[in-house]
Amino acid sequence: MSTQLHSLKPFNTFNLNAMAANIVIAETAEEMVFVWQKSLADRQPVLLLGEGSNVLFLEDYQGTVLVNRIRGIAVRESDDDWHLHVGAGENWHNLVEYTLEKGLAGLENLAMIPGCVGSSPIQNIGAYGVELKHVCEYVDILDLSSGKIQRLTAQECQFGYRDSIFKHKYQTGYAIIAVGLALKKAWIPVITYGDLIRLDAEKVTPQQIFDAVCYMRTSKLPNPKITGNAGSFFKNPVVSAEQAALLKARFPDAPFYPQRDGQVKLAAGWLIDRCDLKGFTIGGAAVHRQQALVLINQQEATGADIVALAHEVRQRVGTKFNVWLEPEVRFIGALGEKDAVGVIA
């Protein structure tokens, strides 16, 4: 366990130069429990962090940032599945590459999603027709007050669109320490989104899907190591069938994705783009020119710059379409997480 006193810039993909009173990198559950309990005893706030790929620091953090680096990948097989037990501190994209190298298919659509494995169930990450809930078997959580470990089944995780029980009941006082995945041996390719529809379902391989997804993401999304960003800043809004019908009458070229519950998912990037916001800047923050769904740290942006930009985007989309975007990114204030919608409303 190492303790550091320095900038949070290496720990958030927006590359914001926020500061923390203390930063601790933990490699075991015992270390996490110790730091959590000591922080509470010292009456200091504590923030759990993976790779900081889905956070926006609004200001300096006044407590301890506890960075989860619990690693390890174990694989076992059953008659129908490959079962993986993955430490929460493993890098998600590295895991996708690892499975392909081992001949285990099922994660290829989720290539290049930034962040740690432990963050994947919180957001129920998804891309190109696949969500974590489709492959998740269980999530192991650590009660930081007692040190006890509990295993939640995928059903108990209450996965929704960019949502889970980890944003609610288990948001505070618990840490995800491992994720269990089940990958079907009888692999069925998912090629229903983007350029994947051009692939031949009869001949396509997992590696070809992986390569296509990587190409699409790198051609549209900025590399956070070069240009600070947190990927998709806003959730794709889900509206009623009635509201979707009204929008379709006004904007027949808009993308619409019917959901199983009768509602319709819209493309937030398309909505932002139709408000002519690509390249729009406030301070050091900007709307990315290739993908309007991404807000970037263009030139030494502050958290306040990005908040102001997000507010302007939300207002313009809301005024034009009567659809009010919600951030996918977590907003972190001086003492902890804040309601992102409330901040930018």
Q: Cα–Cα distance between 190 and 194 in angstroms, integer? A: 11
Q: From CA 98, how far away is CA 96, in angstroms rounded? A: 5
Residue of 69, 162, 217, 330 marked active site: 162
Instruction: Give, in degrees to the nearest 5, the angle at Cα 264 between 322 and 106.
Output: 130
Bridge partners of 92, per DSSP, are none
Q: pLDDT in tens for each of the 345 residues of the chain?
A: 544 458 999 999 999 999 999 999 999 999 999 999 999 999 999 999 999 999 999 999 999 999 999 999 999 999 999 999 999 999 999 999 999 999 999 999 999 999 999 999 999 999 999 999 999 999 999 999 999 999 999 999 999 988 999 999 999 999 999 999 999 999 999 999 889 999 999 999 999 999 999 999 998 889 998 999 999 999 999 999 999 999 999 999 999 999 989 999 999 999 999 999 999 999 999 999 999 999 999 999 999 999 999 999 999 999 999 999 999 999 999 999 999 999 999
- 71 among known catalytic residues: no
Q: Is 330 a catalytic residue?
A: no
Write down the pTM of the prediction.
0.88
Given 31, 316, 328, 330, the catalytic residue: 328
Helix (H) / strand (E) element for 100: namely helix 92-101
Which member of 131, 232, 316, 330 is catalytic? Answer: 232
328 is catalytic: yes
